[in-house]
Amino acid sequence: MADYTKFPIFDINGFIWKNLKDKQILDPNKYYVDELETTLIPVVPAQQIPEFNNLLPGETYLIYDFEEKQTLEHWWTSEIIATYYIVSPNYDKINQILNYLKDQFRRYDDSAKDLNGWSEKSGNYEFHYIYVDKIVSPQHFASEGGFMMGEIQLCVSYVRNLDSGGRFL
């Protein structure tokens, strides 16, 4: 039976968080919340911004959103536009994260190969290519005093594992 709670953006988010930690761009210790006795992952959907700001005020985080592009005759292949907004009071940190994301995801097939190597444990998706569609330099975040926000859009092509009838596994 298909698991309709799975989305390719979750694999991409996990890969980004792993690399932000591994490259020491973000320190996971700064995202530990005593009250919850857990480390929060600073890659959140827009709906979780208030909770994140309340629990970890002043910390850098990424907001994500995605849009599914129209599928034509190759119905088994999908494309999404994944948009990441980097929110931080630190202009240089935003640029550092944008620069990392550009370096990681500008290489089309090779970027997908890196992601496939990391996400094979999920077993749901095979990524074909990823490229950077747009980067917007840091700008002031109107409603969150002192914060700035940079933006990057990624175009991601993938297939989801299917059964013999073409339905999601």
Could you tell me what percent of the chain has a pLDDT over 70? 96
3: its two tokens = 């698991």
Q: Which residue has the higher pLDDT, 3 or 102?
A: 102
**Pairing between β-strand 77-88 and β-strand 125-140 as defined by DSSP bridges:** unpaired
Of 16-20, 68-72, 135-139, 147-151, the least confident: 68-72
Domain boundaries of the chain, sorted by first residue: 8-160
pLDDT digits (tens, 9 = 90+) for 93-113: 999 999 999 999 999 999 999
Judge whether 96 and 137 are in contact, CB under 8 Å.
Answer: no
User: For domain 8-160, which CATH number applies: 3.10.450, 2.60.120, 1.25.40, 3.30.2000?
Assistant: 3.30.2000
Report the distance separating Cα 59 and Cα 166, nearest Å.
43
Whether the predicted model's global pTM rises above the 0.85 cut: yes
- Average pLDDT across the chain, whole number: 92
- Indicate left, alpha or beta for 166 from its phi (over 0: left) and psi (-120 to 50: alpha): left
